[in-house]
């Protein structure tokens, strides 16, 4: 028999694709209750409310409901900073999907408000909670590969987003690679001081015409000389490709993709295995559950959740630096230690 923990009463802002995931995950937990949900599309909130027993209501009602302990922010990016500020000011614990904002200065102001409130803020860099990536990081920290020397992160989406999405996205480095900047920081265990980026529009010319890239690579270096490599593509025919590899003084640790099944066929054409899981909601299903675990555990324990708002700011600074580097063709120096 485990000790009964107090139920977290949760309000959800945004019932779109990722909001639904979090809402259903809250509803399925024994230690939390999805009390209320809202969305700019009322039918989306109503549907999720019907599935979970929550009530569909308004942002204002959720923020002012004294019976709600924690707010999950899954709304469009340009609303994140305002909602975080409003929620911590209302005394709520806050979990917010990445990014806090596309503008680092705005993030800084928001984090100052959070700090003043004393309320916990966690940013949804879900990949840290992927069971394989999390296990790799734990084993790395335990010294299994020795001192970190080279971190490699590969992310390839199955297919590019619509160009209309791209136009509002802040660009590949801020929209897609930001996850990899966070992962690189997570694995390097030392802040990058230099960022060099290359990008091309090879997948969809319309993305290039919109001023963005769909194929990109970054090199980063830390003060002690550790190196991180990141590469991104908006297209992968064989599934959603998400791999990390860390080379250290004592060995290598790597983690990767999950095939759709374990079936292997062998014929005169060779041995064939399935494509890898194709969709981020499937690939990271357990990561989404685990990050809520971490959020609720931190809130209950009175400890600051990780990844923090500052982690969100630092990833944004790296994404900004990469964007600038790709534009200017020059490496960009950053000082994340002084990020705040």
Closest CA to 328 of 209, 162, 195: 195
CB 239 within 8 A of CB 279: no
- Between CA 226 and CA 230 the distance in angstroms is 13
Instruction: Tell me whether residue 116 or residue 223 sits nearer to a copy of itself (CB atom).
Output: 223
Instruction: Give me the least distance between CB of 229 and a copy of itself, in Å please.
Output: 6
What backbone phi and psi angles, to 5 degrees, belong to 243? -135, 145
Instruction: Tell me whether residue 66 or residue 263 sits nearer to a copy of itself (CB atom).
Output: 263
CB 16 within 8 A of CB 73: no
- Between CA 43 and CA 33 the distance in angstroms is 21
Instruction: Tell me whether residue 9 or residue 235 sits nearer to a copy of itself (CB atom).
Output: 235
Instruction: Tell me whether residue 117 or residue 242 sits nearer to a copy of itself (CB atom).
Output: 242
Instruction: Give me the least distance between CB of 93 and a copy of itself, in Å please.
Output: 26
Instruction: Give me the least distance between CB of 311 and a copy of itself, in Å please.
Output: 22
Instruction: Give me the least distance between CB of 157 and a copy of itself, in Å please.
Output: 12
Instruction: Give me the least distance between CB of 150 and a copy of itself, in Å please.
Output: 6
What backbone phi and psi angles, to 5 degrees, belong to 315? -60, -40
Instruction: Tell me whether residue 82 or residue 144 sits nearer to a copy of itself (CB atom).
Output: 144
Instruction: Tell me whether residue 150 or residue 189 sits nearer to a copy of itself (CB atom).
Output: 150
Instruction: Give me the least distance between CB of 255 and a copy of itself, in Å please.
Output: 5
Question: What are the residues whose beta carbons fall under 8 Å from the beta carbon of 158, sequence distance 6 or more?
Answer: 235, 236, 237, 239, 240, 278, 279
CB 83 within 8 A of CB 13: yes
Q: What Cα–Cα distance (Å) separates residue 111 from each residue in 101, 124, 149, 196, 259? A: 11, 15, 32, 27, 40
Q: Residues in the chain, how many?
A: 340
């Amino acid at each position: 028999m485990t000790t009964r923990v107090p139920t977290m009463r949760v309000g959800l802002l945004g019932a779109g694709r990722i909001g639904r995931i979090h809402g259903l995950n809250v509803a399925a937990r024994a230690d939390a209750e999805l009390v209320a949900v809202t969305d700019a599309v009322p039918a989306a909130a109503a549907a999720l409310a019907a599935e979970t027993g929550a009530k569909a209501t308004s942002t204002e009602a959720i923020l002012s409901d004294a019976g709600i302990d924690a707010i999950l922010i899954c709304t469009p990016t340009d609303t994140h900073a305002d909602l975080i500020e409003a929620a911590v000011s209302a005394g709520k614990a806050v979990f917010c999907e990445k990014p806090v904002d596309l503008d680092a200065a705005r993030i800084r102001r928001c984090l100052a408000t959070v700090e003043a409130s004393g309320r916990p803020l966690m940013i949804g860099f879900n990949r840290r909670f992927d069971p394989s990536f999390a296990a790799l990081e734990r084993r790395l920290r335990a010294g299994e590969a020795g001192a970190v020397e080279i971190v490699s992160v590969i992310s390839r989406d199955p297919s590019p987003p619509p160009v209309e999405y791209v136009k509002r996205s802040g660009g590949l480095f801020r929209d897609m690679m930001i996850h990899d900047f966070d992962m690189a920081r997570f694995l390097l265990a030392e802040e990058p001081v230099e960022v060099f980026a290359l990008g091309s529009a090879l997948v969809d010319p319309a993305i290039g015409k919109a001023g963005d890239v769909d194929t990109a690579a970054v090199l980063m270096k830390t003060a002690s000389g550790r190196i991180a490599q990141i590469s991104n593509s908006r297209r992968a025919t064989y599934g959603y490709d998400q791999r990390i590899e860390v080379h250290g003084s004592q060995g290598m640790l790597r983690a990767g993709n999950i095939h759709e099944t374990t079936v292997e066929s062998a014929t005169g054409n060779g041995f064939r295995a399935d494509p890898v899981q194709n969709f981020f909601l499937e690939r990271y299903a357990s990561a989404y559950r685990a990050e809520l675990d971490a959020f609720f555990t931190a809130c209950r324990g009175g400890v600051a959740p990780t990844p923090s708002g500052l982690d969100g700011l630092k990833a944004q600074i790296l994404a900004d630096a990469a964007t600038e580097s790709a534009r200017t063709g020059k490496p960009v120096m950053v000082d994340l230690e002084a990020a705040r």
